Amino acid sequence: MKNKIGLSVIISFLFLVGTQAQQNALHKWQKGMVTDEFIYDKASFPSCHSASIVETTAGNLVYALFGGTRERNPDVEIYICRYENGQWTGPQSVADGVQEDGSRLPTWNPVLYQIPDGDLLLFYKVGPKPSEWWGMLKRSTDGGKTWSDAEKLPEGFLGPIKNKPVLLSNGNLICPSSTEGNGWNIHFEITPDFGKTWRKVGPIATGEDNLQAIQPSVLDHGNGKLQILARSRNWALVESWSDDYGETWSPLRKTGLPNNNSGTDAVTMKNGTHVLVYNHVLPPPENPKGPRTPLNVSISKDGKKWDAVLILEDSPISQYSYPAVIQTSDGLLHFAYTWRRQKMKHVVVNPKKLKKRVIKDGAWPEVKGYELPTLETYKAEEE
C-alpha cells in the first residue's frame, strides 16, 4: 500500500513539474505582452462569449460581450465594460432581446465601432438562431456610458456579423457580414454615412471547392486593395481579394493556415503589417471542427506569407475563442477573447517586441522546451 502511495506521489510530482516546464516554455511565445487580464471577476451571468473592443475618441477602451445562462438562451444580453481611471467597470447590460409582446429572444455577437470624432456604434443580432437573426444598432454619444434606443437595420441587413467594420479611404464603411441559412455565405454591407443608408455587395463566389465560410475580417492593403480572412468548414482559413474598394471580390480559396471551424479576427496596423488572431488548429480529417485551443497570433507583410509571433493561451481545457484585435493610437495591440466561456480576457502587446518564426507548410513552428499540442491531448481532456 505504501509503495502505491509513493508511486502516486511521484507521478503527480512529475506531472506538475512537466506542466510547469511547459508553462515556462510558453513564455517564449509571449514576448511583447504588456497586460494579461480578465475584464471582470464576477458577473450576474454564468456564461459569456464573443468579444469586441474599441478605442473611443477620448482614448478610453470599451469592451462588449454577450452573457447569460448559455448561448441561445433567451436571457442572453449584450454587456459593456469600460476602462476608466485604470480599471474596468463591471458588466453593464445595454441591449436585450425583449420583444414588443414581452417574449424574449437571445442576443448575439456584439461589434463596436467608433466613428471618427462621432458616435460610438454598437451592432448586434437578435433571434432564436443564426439562420433567423436580424441586425440591430445602438449609438452612444458619451463613450459607452449611455446608449440610444435600439434601431433595427433595414430588412435583410445584419451589420458586421462578428468582426469590426473598416473605414476605407473612399469614405465608405465596409461591414464584413455573412449568412448561415442556406449554406454559409459571405457578403458585405456598405454605408457611406455610418449606418443611415446601406447597400449590399455579394455574396462572394464559393469557388470550385464550394467553400463554406462565415465571419470575415477585412485587411486594407491600400489603394483600394482589400483582403478578407474567414472561418470555414473546410479545415483551413479562407480568403478573397478585391482591387476596387470591396465592390467586387475574387472567389473564395483556401489559405495555407488551418482553421478549426471557429471565429478569427485580423487588423492592418498603421505601418501596413497585418495581424491575425485565431486557433492554429488542424482538425482531424473526419470532422472540420477542432479544439478551440491554443489561441495564436501571426503577422504578415503581404497577407500571403504568415509568421508565428504569439500564443495567447494554451491549455487542454478548451476554449479560448472568438477573438478581436485592434491597434490603439499609442501603437499597442489589444486582443479580446472568450476564456473557457466563463470570463472574458484582455491582452495588450507591444508589436515592436514580437519575435517572428516562419510557419512552414501550415505547421506552427517548434520552440525548444515547448511541446506542441496534439489533438489526442484535447480529446483525452474532453472525454
Query: Domain spans of the chain?
Result: 32-358
* pLDDT at residue number 23: 65
Residue 322: its H or E element = strand 320-327
CB-based contact 50:341 (threshold 8 Å): no
> For cell 505547421, what's the residue?
363
The CA–CA distances, whole Å, from 285 to 116, 361, 365 equal 45, 17, 21
Supply the pLDDT for residue 21. Answer: 56
C-alpha cell at 263: 471565429
CA distances from 75 to 66, 144, 321 (A): 10, 22, 22
Tell me whether residue 61 is exposed, middle or buried, using C-beta atoms within 10 angstroms of its C-beta: 0 to 12, 13 to 18, 19 or more.
buried
Residue 342 identity:
Q
Q: For residue 126, which of 140, 105, 110, 150 has the smallest C-alpha distance?
A: 105
Of the chain, the end-to-end C-alpha distance in Å amounts to: 29
Residues contacting 355, CB < 8 A, separation 6+: 31, 32, 309
pLDDT score, position 370: 84
Residues of the chain with pLDDT under 50: 8-18, 381-383
- Residue 11 has a pLDDT of 43
Quick one: residue 362, left, alpha or beta (phi over 0 = left, psi -120 to 50 = alpha)?
left
Does the predicted TM-score (pTM) go above 0.75? yes
The confidence score (pLDDT) of residue 185 equals 98
Q: String of b and e for 158-190 (b: at least 16 CB within 10 Å)?
A: bbbbbbbbbbbeeebbbbbbbbbeeebbbbbbb
Statement: 32-358 belongs to CATH 3.30.70.100: no
Q: What is the CA radius of gyration of the chain?
A: 21
pLDDT tens, residue by residue, 152-161: 999 999 999 9
Residue 27 DSSP one-character state: G
